[in-house]
Amino acid sequence: MTIRPMCETDLDPVLAIEKQSFASPWTKEAFEQELRKPFGICLVAEEEGAVLAYLVAWRVMDEVHIANLAVHPDRRRLGAAEALMRFLESRERSAVWMGLEVRKGNAAARSLYRKLGFFETGLRRRYYQAEGEDAILMSKVLPEQKK
């Protein structure tokens, strides 16, 4: 598995994964905007040239917010999401905090984030409006790294 920056040519497979993963998927235009943001971090995990997962995050000052992470349904629970998260943390060595929202009902994702050292720190009621589902806020204080 290779992790690399997302590019425009990745958008078709990324959108296919997005549509299979979320009831209210991001649009192509939303991903295009993320690719242009100076504070945006867009990554893909690929194997044999095929995109199997992606991650979108924002780096603001010394904090990283994970905005979107999904894995192709046929490739879930094989380590791609964990690899993307670990790559992001190693890439953003000067950050002191990482955070995200995750569906309350997504036990697999919550378990992965706990494994990676995140703690559940809050609740956003009805955050996922289309489904009326709550979001759990999860965050992690990052260890001080030598620069």
Q: Which residues are catalytic?
A: 101, 113
Q: In what order do the strands lie in the sheet with 63-71?
A: 2-5, 40-47, 50-60, 63-71, 97-103, 133-141, 119-128
| Helix pair 11-21, 28-36: axis angle to 10 deg | 120
CB 49 within 8 A of CB 10: no
Taking residue 141's Cβ as centre, other Cβ atoms within 10 Å add up to 12
From 91, 92, 98, select the one nearest 138 (Cα to Cα): 98
